[in-house]
Amino acid sequence: MHCVPPVIRVVDVSKEYMASKGALKVVDDANLDVEKGAFVTLIGPSGCGKSTLLNMIGGLISPTTGTIYIDDEEVKGPKPDKIAMVFQDPSLYPWRTVQKNVEFGLEVRGVPQSERKSRASKYLKLVGLEAFSHYYPTQISGGMQQRVSVARALALEPEVLLMDEPFGALDEQSRISLGAELTEIWRKTGKTIVFVTHSLLEAANLATHVAVMSARPGSIIDFFSIEAEWPRFPEDPEIVEARKRMWSHINLQSIKQAETLSTADNDNVPR
């Protein structure tokens, strides 16, 4: 059987930060392979290191130990030719129009003006905002601002799109709507996406694969595929089963985390 080689490989990756009481390990011996064209959602208990792992894949921070590869090339810093990132805050420039915000990354790269304009228009059309190209960020909704952020990332035409809770600040209806739009964009562009979320429903609805992390220090404790067709609905049997599988891990990990914190607190009580 033919196997698609992974575009992302996370190999024995750990991350520690120095704290007042010594080293704080956030990620511990994480391993993950992501195939080209996959849509992977990354989920786990609060504080388990999801965003830290995503930032290491994006080259924004370096692992303490272990190695991350994109197309078999070690990640030693940002790779704007291959990776684009979308965060919870759209971080748009308020003095630039929607069109000019999407063009910004291309402008920094020195892409000619005509190509910048053409590419920005293409991706604004893809996210359904072509009619708002001359608006400013303050003139559009939060959900529309996040779609501009997605268009800005896509305009760079990266191979990999990393998304850190991009819809986390939006209401539930907007999250569902934007999630559906994102899956359509993914299917049209064939990008490889890694998407951090706290929502079990969002994780199941969007993904071809789900990676579940343990409590801090986080490691990958489960990785499974979801083969349900789109559009997906919460009551679909495979979506229900995926949510149950995620919850069984997260609930157990949350209990372990609480027990660990309780033990640590008791150890600090004067005897």
Task: Mark which of 103, 131, 157 sits at the end of a domain.
Answer: 157
In the predicted model, is pLDDT for residue 8 greater than 70?
Answer: yes
pLDDT of residue 268: 45
User: Residue 84's closest CA among 63, 109, 49, 66?
Assistant: 109
Asked if residue 171 and residue 111 are part of one domain, the reply reads: no
Domain final position from 157, 179, 198: 157
- Do 166 and 218 share a domain, yes or no? yes
Overall number of domains in the chain: 2
The DSSP code sequence of 193-221 is EEEE-S-HHHHHHH-SEEEEEPSSSB-EE
Band of residue 19 on the pLDDT scale cut at 50, 70, 90: confident
pLDDT of res. 252? 86
Per-residue pLDDT at 261 exceeds 70 = no
Q: What is the CATH number of the domain that holds 243?
A: 3.40.50.300
* pLDDT at position 266 over 60: no
**203, part of any domain:** yes
Report the chain's mean pLDDT, rounded to a whole number.
Answer: 91
Q: Are residues 46 and 119 in the same domain?
A: no
Can you give the pLDDT at residue 1?
45
Q: Is the pLDDT of residue 156 over 80?
A: yes
Question: Tens of pLDDT along 217-254?
Answer: 999 999 999 999 988 899 999 999 999 999 999 988 87
Percentage with pLDDT > 90 across the chain: 78
Residues 74 and 186 in one domain: yes
The model's confidence at residue 271, banded by pLDDT at 50, 70 and 90, is very low
Same domain? 212 vs 258: yes
> Domain range for residue 117?
92-157
d(CA 48, CA 196): 12
221 CB-contact burial (10 Å; exposed 0-12 / middle 13-18 / buried 19+): middle
pTM comes to 0.91
Of 100, 129, 157, the last residue of a domain is 157
